[in-house]
Structure 1
Amino acid sequence: MRRTLVLIASQLLLWTIVTLVNDALSSWQVYVFAGALYVSFAALSQPPGPGLLTALIAGLICDANAPVTFGLHLLLFAAAHLILFHVRERVPREDNVSVIAVVLLTNLALFLMFSIVQIHGSPFPSAHWPRLVVDLLCSQVLLALITPWFFALQAGGLALAQVRRDDAL
């Protein structure tokens, strides 16, 4: 249970930071999406039960504040977690570059899925794509910069809580 609580606490911190960054960037009409960070660490390094539970709770946390259909984050985070969990043996998890690449690809997939699901109700969907591309580029740059820090934060939190790690990252 400590494992899940530590991971949820770090995700609450991430949610707070992303919310503050988005608030600061709102004057430039830029939105940062960091969905992949909510699922990647748990999917790549934790047992399936606590990892999936963490992804589900993170989805609920993100759903609570987002102007999207409730449950969309939950569903997509769970799907991303399950996919990453099944391919984690093929990812060299000791290498920061490969972990960042996995996070960026996961974030790209989640961003596109969210965009496709939400844009269908717009009267002029093609008018939104330039802004979405800018948001995606900003999100990817931010993720490339903070992924090593966030993974180290989660690993450090697990070490402080004296949780035995089943897989080394």
Structure 2
Amino acid sequence: MAAFDAGASVLTHAFNGMPGMHHREPGPLGAALDCAHVTLELIADLVHVHPTLMRLLFSAASGRVALVSDAMSATGCSDGAYALGSLEVTVTGGVARLKEGGSIAGSTLTMDRAVRHVISSGISVSDALAAATLTPAWAMGLKAFPSPGEALEPFLTDADGNTVAA
């Protein structure tokens, strides 16, 4: 809570690399859910987070879930041996794991698949698309995007997020 009270506004990779929620110790996830200004990142590859918890997150943090890929260099490639920095990674069945210890090592998820996984988990198409587009844009402070409830007019942006054409 102290970090969010001090201005932190994004919970990185909800459910992953953090203690789980407990009824007496809600942990980082509970703190993020309790702070309306916090965006919660979700790796929706069906490996990092189970569909039940994806539905729970979308329900508990409506409009605040941002899909992220956590993709590593093996994304779009066949199964095999890869590196994540200095760490050796083995990708099997599209799942990246550290060669030593077997921990999940990033993902091979693409954003289009993340959207499809979220929809197949029972989230509405509009909520899934917002989690892949509008919510991350708002979290990054991109001004070209509308506020919640406003209509979205088509536009293009440059690499800095500035509107360059309508």
Q: TM-score, normalised by structure 2?
A: 0.29
User: Taking CA–CA contacts closer than 8 Å with sequence separation of 6 or more, which of the two structures ends up with the larger relative contact order?
Assistant: 1
Q: Which has the larger radius of gyration?
A: 2
Q: Which has the larger share of helix? A: 1
Q: Which has the larger share of strand? A: 2
